[in-house]
Structure 1
Amino acid sequence: MEYKWVVLTNTTLGVIMSSINMYIVLISLPTIFRGLNVNPFLPGEFDYLLWVLMGYSIVLASVLVTFGRISDLFGRTRLYTLGFIIFTVASVLLSLIPSNSGNFGALLLIVFRIVQAIGGGFLMVNSTALLTDAFPPGERGKALGLNQASFIIGSFLGIILGGLLSNYDWHLLFLVNVPFAIAGALWSIFKLKRVDRRNVRVKIDYWGNLTLALGLVLITLGFTYALMPYGNSEMGWTSPLVIASFIAGTALIIAFIPIELRQEEPLFKLSLFRVRPFTYGIMALFLSSLARGAIMFLLTIWLQGIYLPLHGFSYTETPFWAGIYMLPMLVGTVIMAPIGGSLTDKYGARVIATVGMIIIAISLYLLTLLPYNFDLVKFESILFLNGVGNGLFASPNTTSIMNALHPRDRGAGNGMRQTFSNVGSTISMAMFFTIAISIFSQYVPIRIHEIALSYELPSDIANTLASIPASSLLFATFLGMDPVSVLPSSLTNGLPTSIMKLLDSNTFLPSVLGPPFMMGLRFSLYISIVFVAIGAVLSYMRGGRYVYEESIRKGAYAS
């Protein structure tokens, strides 16, 4: 087998493993939290959901550039293999968390997911760089498109396996990654080429690593804690901790720039931003991530917490069926990613990636036209259209960015690409969760109180239901838990069986939350459309076809 196909096979295995892990956790979070016996209505429980969702991306946002630069200096293959090993250990540890361990189990889940993110970071920064090294310029788009398609295949497997394994034992959701990780580690050890860099003397940019990593950690922590209640407020934007995190993080990021300009071996060569396709490609990617980061999770809540229960699905079934209903998006991407990559090899990324962004914006607008209890055919068609747009944007944009880099800078450059993507997703989570919780706080207490009284419930029960924090209701919606569990027995004793059955039904909470949820989702989608539209303009501004190996002969590369 030619070496380039060896690299594609191995990196495809790593991508499949990573995407299985991502989607199997996202789809199965309700099962995992129920297995841990976490009660979303207790004070502070929403924090655990946020950390499970955002802890992984916080770590990735903080370490990817550092990992990429270290890999450039000491060998991508070696550290790529290390990523498989760390990922395997973390997956095993996650599978050993005891059931019914409550908040302690949730804390272990967060910690081991962070360890898993470290392994995932080494895999992410090196897989794209290894592919770019192995394939000639005329074939990179196709290779990266196939790699993108394998991500979608892994996503599909994660959805199916998550739905099936959730019905048996939630620990299996983490063990399913282990065979892929072991096979990937052995395959990379015995088949991938290693560059001996033991005699290469390099200076590590310690100050650059420290300021960038710490700055990104503080900023992402600020966004995370901004979503948690503070004092009498549902949100924490006025918390001294949040304000201090933003100020300190921004100061460190600003300090990072002059530090890098003075380094002989900088963590990241800021001169790369003189290369037009690299700069505009990263900016378009950041805006795409900013637009889509939380929307995918909000769509999952829409399906699992509102639409599927209203249509008779039990909460144990919703993870699997939510995944099935999301498949058209994945199918659209898996069809168009290789096509978009091949077209990029021939014509460049400018038009193809821009068209992809425009299609994404159209699909997001069409979602705003749907009611919370939507027509399924329309919903699936819109998701497929969104997948087509993603496929046309993702692989051409990645190819354009990687083609613009000198081989020695591909690890760090890919790390910066992934960092912008993860930071955009983290900010997206904070922004759109803020919108959702703010609207919930304004409308849900009134609505749930009115509906409770319309069912002739006692006023003290209506008041208790209306006092449940908006973040708890959002968490409960996702986990498929009705608010009857928060009512004290002193209030429920003596209630008619019909009323208790209503409160404990699959339709009570979705009917209450459906209209306010759609208000928040539509507002979020409008903002996303603006981001995608700006990203489309930036994508077009990247210029025509640009490949480093071809441009260096003309003196066009900024070194």
Structure 2
Amino acid sequence: MQYKWVALSNTTVGVLMASINGTITIISLPAIFRGININPFNSFQYLLWILMSYNIVTATLLVSFGRLSDIYGRVRLYNLGFAIFTIGSILLSLTPNQGDLGALEIILFRVIQGIGGAFLFANSAAILTDAFPSNERGKALGINQIAALAGSLIGLILGGILSTINWRYVFLVSVPVGIFGTVWSYLKLKELSKPNKTEKIDWLGNTLFAGGLILILIAITYGLLPYGSSQLGWGNPYVIASLVSGVGLIIGFLYAERKVKYPMFRLELFKIRIFAAANIASFLRSVAYGGLMIMLVIFLQGIWLPLHGIPYSETPFWAGVYTIPLMLGFVTMGPISGWLSDKYGSRLLATLGMVIVGIGFLLLTTLPYDFNYLTFALMIFMIGVGNGMFASPNTASIMNSVPPQHRGAASGMRATLQNTGQTMSIAIFFTIVIISLTSSLPSAIQNALIQAGAPQLVPYAQHIPVTGALFAAFLGYDPVKTMLSSLPAGVTVPQSAIQIMEQRTWFPTAIAPAFMYALRNAFYISAVLVFIAAIASALRGVEVKESVRK
């Protein structure tokens, strides 16, 4: 077997493992939270960290690991990533405690997974670029995308099945894949790059970059949590201080990288027009798109599925199933666009892909909250097709534009911008939705309670955190039953009112108009960002063949 196919198959296993882990965790969160006895109404900060800790760690470490791979070898660090990721998965399945301690243990083990994932993501594209000639890289990256989408679909299905048996099984799924991938990568992958061990590690740059990015991402995360009487924490002095300090460290990092002899972040690569434009387009696309899946899942689980008779306990699984068209669009176009980009270049495909995604976002703004599913499925399929047109051509364009000795650093920089954009996207989507619900949800619930015949609940319902209600619906909890179970002793509610409130349509109908208004605002912002990404993509210029660049 030609080595390029060995490299492709091994990196594909890595992508498959990581993508299974991503969707299986989201779909299985209800079972995980019930398994460790966590109440989302007052512990939703744990949900945020379980969701975002992995991305924060990978975003922080990708550039550093990419640079280290140029010094010590891409295959060596890629192999290490497989092993670390597998260890993290084993630890997650063995989480010994419950309650707050159990949640903290899961977060810690997710961080370990993130370290392994950073080694994998920082080097997989570089390994493929080393193994494949420039006229086949788009195709190779497109095949990787098929694995990513296949893994996402497998994760949705396995998460729905395994979480009903035992929540620990959802983390064990990655273990056999990880063990196989670790052994195979150690036996089969070989170093085609030329590690330059004479270069030194940029400790100053690593420290400034990691510290700055961690502080910024932590500020973004805690900005979503209530502070005082506010439903959001953006006014929290610690959040403001963390954000300002993080930005200051990043500014210091950019200054330091111009002065050190062996910088970890090759700023000179941004002088390459294709590299700069493609990375800007990728970052904007990630900011616009990264939070879409979670928002759609929350909307389906909290509103649309209950309105259509699905019990709250079953909504997490069906929400995953109903978002499959988004992934199918991606997997349909991903490999085709990669093959076409090898023949005709990346600029037109990537630009057109972003235009299609932008139109898709605008179409989503026209949906009522009780929409026809076929219309919704076609819209998200369209967005998936646009993303499939963009992803592999854009990545191939980035990797083809840099000298071979800097491919590890370039791959890490690309992945860092992408992961940072995704984390920012989740924060932006949540912020828009929470701000909108904060102003409209209390009055909506108040009116609904009065109409149901339970005005005595109004004072208690108005103190429910918007984020708590939002995440309770996301996790498949019945918000009404959760609210009733937390009432003080002595507060009685007429049985007729309880019967009305426990109807599956009561709570979704109360919050749907406000939530849909918030989503429309988020979709408008995403559309603007994606259209700007299309402009950046179009400005990348004409690609130069590798033989000419050398």
Q: TM-score range by the shorter chain?
A: over 0.9
Residue of structure 1 in register with 2:154 after alignment: 157
Maintained 8 Å contact 1:337/1:392 = yes
Residue of structure 1 in register with 2:313 after alignment: 316
- Compared CA separation, residues 152 and 489, structure 1 to 2 (3 A): closer
- Compared CA separation, residues 133 and 451, structure 1 to 2 (3 A): same
Structure 1 residue corresponding to 2:267, chosen from 266, 270, 282? 270
The alpha-carbon deviation at position 199 of structure 1 amounts to 8.7
Equivalent-residue separation in structure 2 for 1:520 and 1:196 (angstroms): 49
The alpha-carbon deviation at position 489 of structure 1 amounts to 5.4
Within 5 Å, give how 1:542-557 maps onto structure 2: 542-552=540-550
Within 5 Å, give how 1:31-430 maps onto structure 2: 31-42=31-42, 45-98=43-96, 101-194=98-191, 200-430=197-427
- SS of 1:468's equivalent in the other structure is coil
The alpha-carbon deviation at position 510 of structure 1 amounts to 1.6
Residue of structure 2 in register with 1:514 after alignment: 512
- Compared CA separation, residues 401 and 234, structure 1 to 2 (3 A): same
Equivalent-residue separation in structure 2 for 1:502 and 1:106 (angstroms): 35
Equivalent-residue separation in structure 2 for 1:180 and 1:492 (angstroms): 54
Equivalent-residue separation in structure 2 for 1:218 and 1:410 (angstroms): 27
The alpha-carbon deviation at position 263 of structure 1 amounts to 2.1
Residue of structure 2 in register with 1:499 after alignment: 497
AA in 1 matched with 2:395: T
- Compared CA separation, residues 199 and 257, structure 1 to 2 (3 A): closer
Q: Deviations over 1:150-204 (max 9, x none)?
A: 1111111111111111221111110001011011001101100136979932211
The alpha-carbon deviation at position 432 of structure 1 amounts to 1.7
Residue of structure 1 in register with 2:9 after alignment: 9
AA in 1 matched with 2:469: L
Residue of structure 2 in register with 1:471 after alignment: 467
Maintained 8 Å contact 1:88/1:177 = yes
The alpha-carbon deviation at position 127 of structure 1 amounts to 0.6
Maintained 8 Å contact 2:70/2:196 = no
- SS of 1:266's equivalent in the other structure is coil
- SS of 1:235's equivalent in the other structure is coil
Equivalent-residue separation in structure 2 for 1:404 and 1:185 (angstroms): 30
Q: Deviations over 1:455-486 (max 9, x none)?
A: 111x3312211221111111111122223333
Equivalent-residue separation in structure 2 for 1:281 and 1:160 (angstroms): 34
- SS of 1:121's equivalent in the other structure is helix
AA in 1 matched with 2:63: V
AA in 2 matched with 1:32: I
Q: Deviations over 1:14-37 (max 9, x none)?
A: 000000000111122222212222
Q: Deviations over 1:69-89 (max 9, x none)?
A: 011110111111111111111
Equivalent-residue separation in structure 2 for 1:95 and 1:362 (angstroms): 42
Residue of structure 1 in register with 2:482 after alignment: 485
Structure 2 residue corresponding to 1:531, chosen from 529, 532, 541? 529
- Compared CA separation, residues 549 and 253, structure 1 to 2 (3 A): farther
- Compared CA separation, residues 198 and 148, structure 1 to 2 (3 A): closer
AA in 2 matched with 1:26: I
- SS of 1:203's equivalent in the other structure is coil
When the two chains are superposed, the root-mean-square deviation of aligned CA atoms in Å is: 1.6
The alpha-carbon deviation at position 306 of structure 1 amounts to 1.3
Maintained 8 Å contact 1:162/1:319 = no
AA in 2 matched with 1:64: L
The alpha-carbon deviation at position 330 of structure 1 amounts to 1.1
Equivalent-residue separation in structure 1 for 2:232 and 2:458 (angstroms): 24
Superposition TM-score, scaled by structure 2 size: 0.97
Maintained 8 Å contact 2:205/2:256 = yes
Aligned length: 548
- Compared CA separation, residues 429 and 196, structure 1 to 2 (3 A): closer
Residue of structure 1 in register with 2:456 after alignment: 460
The alpha-carbon deviation at position 384 of structure 1 amounts to 0.9
- Compared CA separation, residues 146 and 226, structure 1 to 2 (3 A): same
- SS of 1:11's equivalent in the other structure is helix
- Compared CA separation, residues 498 and 549, structure 1 to 2 (3 A): farther
Equivalent-residue separation in structure 2 for 1:199 and 1:511 (angstroms): 62
- Compared CA separation, residues 198 and 140, structure 1 to 2 (3 A): closer
Equivalent-residue separation in structure 2 for 1:221 and 1:245 (angstroms): 7
The alpha-carbon deviation at position 250 of structure 1 amounts to 1.1
List gaps (5 residues or longer) in structure 2.
Answer: none
Equivalent-residue separation in structure 1 for 2:263 and 2:146 (angstroms): 34
AA in 1 matched with 2:8: L
Worse overlay, 118-127 or 472-481:
472-481
The alpha-carbon deviation at position 285 of structure 1 amounts to 0.4
List gaps (5 residues or longer) in structure 1.
Answer: 553-559
The alpha-carbon deviation at position 111 of structure 1 amounts to 1.0
Equivalent-residue separation in structure 1 for 2:69 and 2:196 (angstroms): 15
Equivalent-residue separation in structure 1 for 2:156 and 2:239 (angstroms): 35
- Compared CA separation, residues 550 and 446, structure 1 to 2 (3 A): same
- Compared CA separation, residues 117 and 19, structure 1 to 2 (3 A): same
Maintained 8 Å contact 2:326/2:382 = yes
Maintained 8 Å contact 1:461/1:491 = no
Equivalent-residue separation in structure 1 for 2:490 and 2:375 (angstroms): 41
The alpha-carbon deviation at position 546 of structure 1 amounts to 2.7
The alpha-carbon deviation at position 98 of structure 1 amounts to 4.5
The alpha-carbon deviation at position 314 of structure 1 amounts to 1.9
Residue of structure 2 in register with 1:557 after alignment: none
- SS of 1:138's equivalent in the other structure is coil
- SS of 2:422's equivalent in the other structure is helix
The alpha-carbon deviation at position 362 of structure 1 amounts to 0.9
Equivalent-residue separation in structure 2 for 1:379 and 1:489 (angstroms): 38
- Compared CA separation, residues 439 and 359, structure 1 to 2 (3 A): same
Worse overlay, 318-327 or 352-361:
318-327
The alpha-carbon deviation at position 514 of structure 1 amounts to 1.2
Equivalent-residue separation in structure 2 for 1:230 and 1:205 (angstroms): 38
- SS of 1:357's equivalent in the other structure is helix
Percentage identity across paired residues of the two chains? 50
Maintained 8 Å contact 1:477/1:509 = no
Q: Deviations over 1:306-341 (max 9, x none)?
A: 111221112232222112111111111111111111
Equivalent-residue separation in structure 1 for 2:171 and 2:490 (angstroms): 39
